[in-house]
Structure 1
Amino acid sequence: MLGHVESDISIASRYLSNQKGVDLQFLDGGRMNAYGLGGSLMLDYEDYKPEREYDAELRYTNIAMNTFDTSAAVKGSADSQSLGLWARTRIPTPLTVLERPLRAVFEVAHTEFLGNLRGALGFNSLSSVGTGFEIDRSASDPIFSRVRVVFRYQFGQNIRGTSIGLAASF
């Protein structure tokens, strides 16, 4: 992993410093460069049949990150670890789109944050449930063989949210 972030919000930084006594040195011309080394170990289960498809993954990730050539306010290191479980099923519906069945999509996921990630954003875990549809475009010789739209609800300790995901397969 290699990353670079810069900020220059000098007016807001001066206001917060003068009015609230908050030192936000990073906001005024700050920058952060970071690198990380690590990886993931994943167990994957797939069961694809014409009448339905099941996918499930269990993944452990560990990436040790460090900053370099960085503003003093954000120098540091972190051990980024997580353990996640994700599952999706796709079931053909009676509806036909582009000469193929429209598929209903259902997803669930849960991630436990470990190491320095635990509590860093105000929560220790994040879960989601989602539903949507998938269009199989393979009959029309397209660039994308499948297009999927999934609406998700994410939740955890002190956090709630929604999202819309769009995915395409070659």
Structure 2
Amino acid sequence: MRAHGILNSARCVVMLVMLAMMGMVGLAPAPAHAQTGPTFGIVGANVQKQANAVLTLMSFAVVPDLASSSLSISNTSTDNPALTLWQLGGGFTLSQSFPLYLEGSIAYNRYDPTFVASNGQETRKLPTKWNTFAGTVGVGWDFPLIDSKELVFRPIFNASIGRVASDLSVAKFAVEHVTDQEIAFLDNGAMNAYGLGGSVMLDWESHRNERDVDVELRYTNIYLRSFGTTGGMNASAAAQTASLYARWRAPTGLRALDRPVRYVLELSHSHYFGNQAGALGFSQLTTVGTGLELDTSAHEVFVTRIRGVFRYVFGNNVHGLSFGLAASF
């Protein structure tokens, strides 16, 4: 989900991201197994392709993106989630007089691909689980394009760090059979990665008593490179995403908690380029949403606004519904 809060809440998110990223650096890769017996290998794959695929999965976690921030895609044969993407992020500008922009996001991805292993005589299916943890921070500067400073151009420097850990869901297979380097990587293999890059953004924020409008047009390009990988494999991937986000908020005419109740309309569209394009079966995602917002600022509570939004997500080969809650502090 994407957090749209005021200054204090955004600062908390960025601090959490920085702490999480420091914790990822200290993680060490787990050892691979070595066995005796007939040797099995992955059909139609090699170690380098696996490493690149793992890093491509991580690329979806390092780019701040509403469309893929809360997404679960089910395996049609098992009806279990084969892909889960989750992300929490926020950003803020210090002030109009000193328009330093800071942002941060933390993300978790889970992907459950099934490989086929063979020793030339028999084949076995290998259900695996890839778990990705990643964090991204960004530092930018707002350049106003109009006198009201409602429209700004914002270049951002981004840095990311993450870790992917893989394990076989059928551990007995790795115990009973000799496996080559490819299967060894799938069984408790791990990959750390860092990323450097940047973003450019056009941000229009217009706030009036009768309505609030927020529109963001963003392009992000972060180059990821592996380190500390099981088996010494090296991999790289480029996270390239262009996105549009728009939100309209206006009073409904109703009142609650001594403040107007506002309705919320949302639209976002993300297009994935480079390694991301088609990697998970889609090259673009769109969300449309509607909901309500309660203003609690008239009362002495630490939450000033609460929003609930229903969203419909669709793209190449995917579609679904979601419900999200957001709070401003």
Common fold, TM-score beyond 0.5? yes
Distance 1:24 1:98 in 2: 59
Aligned residues: 165
Equivalence map 1:134-153=2 (5 Å): 134-153=293-312
Distance 1:63 1:13 in 2: 38
- Spell out, residue by residue over 1:16-67, the C-alpha distance to the aligned partner (whole angstroms, 9 max, x if none): x98xxxx644441111211111121110111111111111000000100011
Match of 1:9 in 2: 168
State whether structure 2 residue 313 is matched by structure 1 residue 154: yes
State whether structure 2 residue 317 is matched by structure 1 residue 164: no
Amino acid at match of 2:302: I
Q: CA deviation at 1:6?
A: 2.3
Distance 2:299 2:256 in 1: 11
Match of 1:112 in 2: 271
Amino acid at match of 1:76: A
- Structure 1: any 5+ residue segments left out of the alignment? none
Query: Which deviates more from structure 2 when the two are superposed, residues 66-75 or residues 159-168?
Result: 66-75
Distance 2:288 2:200 in 1: 23
- Spell out, residue by residue over 1:97-141, the C-alpha distance to the aligned partner (whole angstroms, 9 max, x if none): 110111100001111101211111111110010011111111103
Q: 2:241 aligns with which of 82, 88, 91?
A: 82
State whether structure 2 residue 188 is matched by structure 1 residue 29: yes
Change (3 A) 1:13 1:105: farther
User: TM-score normalised to the size of structure 1?
Assistant: 0.88
Change (3 A) 1:146 1:12: same
Task: Please tell me whether the aligned partners of residues 44 and 55 of structure 1 are also in contact (alpha carbons under 8 angstroms).
Answer: yes
Match of 2:291 in 1: 132
Task: Please tell me whether the aligned partners of residues 10 and 27 of structure 1 are also in contact (alpha carbons under 8 angstroms).
Answer: no
Change (3 A) 1:27 1:13: farther
The structure 1 segments of at least 4 consecutive aligned residues displaced by more than 4 Å after TM superposition are 72-75
Match of 2:251 in 1: 92
Task: Please tell me whether the aligned partners of residues 26 and 74 of structure 1 are also in contact (alpha carbons under 8 angstroms).
Answer: no
Amino acid at match of 2:286: S
- Structure 2: any 5+ residue segments left out of the alignment? 1-159
Q: Which has the higher strand share?
A: 1
Match of 1:44 in 2: 203
Q: CA deviation at 1:8?
A: 3.4
Change (3 A) 1:41 1:29: same
Change (3 A) 1:82 1:135: same
